[in-house]
Amino acid sequence: MREVTFPSGTFFTGFTQGNIRQGETLETTKQRLSREAQGLLVENIRVRIESTTTSHTASARVNQTEHLTAEFVSNVQTISEVEIVGMATETFFDRETNRVYAFSHVNRFELIGFYRSNLTMNLVQIESLLQTAQNLEANSEKSNARQQVQTAKSLLENVREAQNLLLALDQNRSPENLQLPKTEQMHNTLVQMQARLAQAVYVFVESNENLFGTNVNVLTNRLKAELAQKGCSFTADLSRADWHLKITASTRFHNETHGLLVSFADVEVNLINLRNNKSVFQDQFSQRGFGITQEQSGRKALSDAVSVVVERIAQWF
């Protein structure tokens, strides 16, 4: 009767039965057997996936045109627990025999429709994340780019799951229908980008510059430009940084010589490795600057202090 109502060509099913165990209520028995029936349904799909993987891998040995499909399915872990959209479970209690029956079923074509849409949606999101990551990388915002790549790679797992299921549910689907070439191209691009970004150094800069009572960023801005040329990237989020660079600088007037005003920038530098939260470099120094005005001489002192800071901390990067 079940085969008539739920033909195997259209439905995946799972059926189980059992008695109420000691200490169980009727409701808990129904719940237990429902889980078993659902597990059997998933197992039926898993077996289909395994057999599909084996057949495609075997056929690829004699037909190189199926090589891409075989390469894909042989590298995808067998799915043991999947999201079965549209699965329904029914239970029945026979009072005469005191037995409980549980039956789960799902329409194969509804599953195909869901995972086809799921596949397309995730690929579109990955494309968007990849484009954003490339733009961020080009602008030296590598910390944010790294986050975009990581999100895209997690979505790629959803894509592979959808492809694997679609391959099992519809064995006539071609690699192009499953968008396997596009997926592998995205995967390779993400892996290469992740490798590049992993080599970058992410620095959180905390600075306090005082130019005769005015807050400025003379030293900080030039310092970032110099470190960027050495491969450093900067983030405003301390939790994403590899290094924490603290800079405190203040100017003081010294004297006048030969018609020029002389000022000093007193600078404190502290470089902290955030991997172990240890300070690897800490120092204080003073840098002299000349100018026709006091402000100009102070700015020159702050600006010239950049080369000193870079020289002392560059080895750590």
**59 pLDDT higher than 90:** no
**What is the structure's pLDDT at 68?**
46
Lowest mean pLDDT across 23-37, 50-64, 75-89: 50-64
Q: Which of 238, 128, 243, 144 is nearest to 197 (CA)?
A: 144
**What is the structure's pLDDT at 129?**
95
**What is the structure's pLDDT at 65?**
41
Tokens linked to 127: 């494309």
266: left (phi over 0), alpha (psi -120 to 50) or beta: beta
Q: Rounded mean pLDDT of 222-226?
A: 92
Q: Rounded mean pLDDT of 150-164?
A: 87
**Residue range 179-209, pLDDT digits in tens:** 888 888 899 999 999 888 877 778 999 999 9
Kind and range of the H or E run holding 74: none
Lowest mean pLDDT across 71-75, 79-83, 113-117: 71-75
**What is the structure's pLDDT at 83?**
61
Where in the chain are the domains? Answer: 2-107, 110-198, 201-316
**77 pLDDT higher than 70:** no
**146 pLDDT higher than 90:** no
**What is the structure's pLDDT at 10?**
87
- Phi first, then psi, for residue 280 (nearest 5°) are -100, -20
Q: Given pLDDT bands bounded at 50, 70 and 90, which one contains residue 233?
A: confident
133 vs 72: which has the higher pLDDT: 133
Kind and range of the H or E run holding 287: strand 278-291
16: left (phi over 0), alpha (psi -120 to 50) or beta: beta
**What is the structure's pLDDT at 170?**
72
**130 pLDDT higher than 70:** yes
Work out the mean pLDDT of the chain and round it to a whole number. 84
Lowest mean pLDDT across 6-10, 23-27, 74-78: 74-78
CA distance 201 to 42: 45
**49 pLDDT higher than 70:** no
172 vs 255: which has the higher pLDDT: 255
CATH number of 201-316: 3.40.50.10610
48 vs 281: which has the higher pLDDT: 281
CA distance 13 to 8: 8
**Residue range 239-294, pLDDT digits in tens:** 888 899 999 999 999 998 888 999 999 999 999 988 788 999 999 999 999 999 99
Q: Rounded mean pLDDT of 118-135?
A: 93
Q: Given pLDDT bands bounded at 50, 70 and 90, which one contains residue 44?
A: confident
Q: In the chain, which ranges are continuous DSSP H helix? A: 2-5, 26-60, 67-73, 108-138, 142-169, 180-198, 218-228, 294-313
**105 pLDDT higher than 80:** yes
Tokens linked to 297: 């001489």
**228 pLDDT higher than 60:** yes
CA distance 19 to 30: 10
**Residue range 25-42, pLDDT digits in tens:** 999 999 999 999 998 998
